[in-house]
Amino acid sequence: MTKLQAVNTILMYINEKVVTQTQLDAGTIPVITLATTVLDEHIRLHNNITGNTDTDIATVDVLIQDNLVKRASKALFTRHIGFEEKGIDVILFDEKQTMGSVAKFCVNTFFGTGYEYIENNIHRFLTTTDSLETAYPSAELIKGQIDEIISSITALYPFMAGDNLLYTYAMNRVLSEEKSEFAVKAEQDNINSIAKYVYHNLVAQSITYPYVADVLLSMPIEKQNIKNINDIQKNITTVENIFVMSRRKILSYGWYFNTMTVTLVPNTNKYIAIPTSYLSVDDNSSNTHTVRDWKLFNNSELTFLFDDPVECVVIDDVPYDDLQQPYRAYVFADARHESYRSILGLSGSTAEISIENKSLSEARILAVRDDANNQDGNLLTDTYSSTLLDRTSL
């Protein structure tokens, strides 16, 4: 749009005749000067809002040109002609019609690659504003809020960077101010989808989390009460901690593969330090020794000091991935059982809990059977059996 076209558009709104380029250049007709002045004012206003340095309507973004001209027309109409109800309604209607272009201009300015899937939603939101003065800051604010949400999520889950699901979630969080029943459900469905995405990618991209993700994916996602990203991470952390506790609890029972007789030797300070991997330490020769502050302690003499080595039966902790299958399955079943109770709580159905109880019992039976096979224990060979009764002489 040229300056002559802009000025003539403004003049037509106040029922003035169109002018020629020569008349515009001469600047001797007062109404032309007024139209030009008002147009320049709105270009400067546009520059103040956007940070641009345009001096002529021809250099202004084409998406915003119509809006600037119609706003200048309204200003000239109300400032110099006076209010006329019919005329002002027409101008306001025309200005509203141009807000679609304003919104498009704002979207183009702030939202680029990665935002294509949410552009229409933002565009519709911006067209409900009254003017460029409100639309432009709104777009800038929306962009900042969306980026903040995306950054907080990708900081936790880098593999989600650039995923369309992430942009949609961030947009819903920012734009869905009116929480209708439909909007609330849509937002919940969205966060549930993100939870599934995160759980699946823990399996695919990490060697630390696979079993944790398997537990979380086995639970009904809609019953995990996930309201935001923090709830997803809280569930992951909860199951991780439960796995550690379940592993240590089950290994503390003392199985053939992790029960050993070792000789513990005092150090130069006469302390016998106990490795933190030992779940239990039992004096093999007396009942006078126990563990305190990860050092062997003589309960009889009330001292940590030892002159001689002490033979003990210890139960050793073993990393989950180093366990044989029966014990891995037992730990997994126990951790999943406890996770169901912790995360689902009362929302877990009786049937679901019953299935978990059965799975846990079956896993325990297999572990106990494997342990018995490993040690081949019986009354004649088991060192922990104390008496064999000869019934033939009775």
- Mean pLDDT is lowest, of 36-50, 140-154, 162-176, for 162-176
- The pLDDT > 70 percentage for the chain reads 81
Please write the tens of the pLDDT for every residue from 296-343. Answer: 998 888 999 999 999 999 999 999 989 999 999 999 999 988 888 888
Query: Residue 180 above 80 pLDDT?
Result: no
DSSP 17: P
Secondary structure element (H or E) that encloses residue 3, with its range: helix 3-13
Query: Residue 89 above 70 pLDDT?
Result: no
Task: Report the pLDDT value the prediction gives residue 92, as an integer from 0 to 100.
Answer: 53
Please write the tens of the pLDDT for every residue from 189-243. Answer: 888 888 888 888 887 766 666 788 888 988 888 888 888 888 998 999 999 999 9
Scanning 14-131, the segments in alpha helix (DSSP H) are 21-26, 30-50, 62-76, 85-97, 99-110, 119-126
Query: Residue 113 above 70 pLDDT?
Result: no
- Which residues make beta-bridge pairs with 261? 313
User: Smallest Cα–Cα separation from 390: which of 379, 375, 381, 378?
Assistant: 379
- Mean pLDDT is lowest, of 42-46, 93-97, 320-324, 369-373, for 93-97
The predicted model gives 72-80 an average pLDDT of 72
Query: Residue 245 above 50 pLDDT?
Result: yes
**Contact indicator for 248, 349 with CB cutoff of 8 Å:** no
**Contact indicator for 254, 374 with CB cutoff of 8 Å:** no
Give me the phi and psi of 283, to 5 degrees please.
-60, 130
Task: Report the pLDDT value the prediction gives residue 86, as an integer from 0 to 100.
Answer: 42
Give Cα separations from 145 to 9, 112, 129, 142, 364 (angstroms).
38, 15, 18, 5, 50
Is 97 or 291 the better-scoring residue by pLDDT? 291
Task: Report the pLDDT value the prediction gives residue 94, as an integer from 0 to 100.
Answer: 56
CB-based burial, 220-230: b 16+ in 10 Å, e otherwise:
eeeebebeebe
The string of DSSP codes covering 115-184 is -TTTHHHHHHHHTTSSSHHHHHHHHHHHHHHHHHHHHHHHHH-GGGTT-HHHHHHHHHHHH--S--HHHH
Radius of gyration of the chain from its Cα atoms, rounded to whole angstroms: 38
DSSP 391: G
Give me the phi and psi of 96, to 5 degrees please.
-60, -35
- Mean pLDDT is lowest, of 52-66, 126-140, 149-163, for 126-140
Is 107 or 117 the better-scoring residue by pLDDT? 107
Query: Residue 346 above 90 pLDDT?
Result: no
Q: What is the mean pLDDT of the chain?
A: 80
**Contact indicator for 61, 132 with CB cutoff of 8 Å:** no
User: Smallest Cα–Cα separation from 178: which of 190, 186, 167, 170?
Assistant: 186
Is 247 or 16 the better-scoring residue by pLDDT? 247
Q: Is the pTM of this model over 0.75?
A: no
Is 132 or 314 the better-scoring residue by pLDDT? 314
Task: Report the pLDDT value the prediction gives residue 208, as an integer from 0 to 100.
Answer: 65
Is 13 or 98 the better-scoring residue by pLDDT? 13
3-state secondary structure of 261: strand
Secondary structure element (H or E) that encloses residue 297, with its range: strand 295-298
- Indicate the length of the chain as a whole number: 394
| pLDDT category of residue 378 using cuts at 50, 70 and 90 | low
Is 94 or 126 the better-scoring residue by pLDDT? 126
Tokens 């183009």 label which residue? 108
| pLDDT category of residue 394 using cuts at 50, 70 and 90 | very low
The predicted model gives 269-293 an average pLDDT of 87
Give Cα separations from 184 to 164, 168, 180, 247, 276 (angstroms).
20, 14, 6, 39, 48
The predicted model gives 378-390 an average pLDDT of 50
Burial degree of 219 (CB within 10 A; 0-12, 13-18, 19+) = buried
| pLDDT category of residue 177 using cuts at 50, 70 and 90 | low
Task: Report the pLDDT value the prediction gives residue 65, as an integer from 0 to 100.
Answer: 84
Query: Residue 383 above 60 pLDDT?
Result: no
The token duo for 297 is 């302690």
Q: Where are the domains of the chain?
A: 3-97, 244-375
Give Cα separations from 67 to 44, 140, 204 (angstroms).
14, 19, 51
- The pLDDT > 90 percentage for the chain reads 20
Task: Report the pLDDT value the prediction gives residue 299, as an integer from 0 to 100.
Answer: 87
Give Cα separations from 135 to 51, 122, 132, 141, 162 (angstroms).
15, 11, 5, 10, 26
Distance between CA atoms of 212 and 37, rounded to whole angstroms? 68
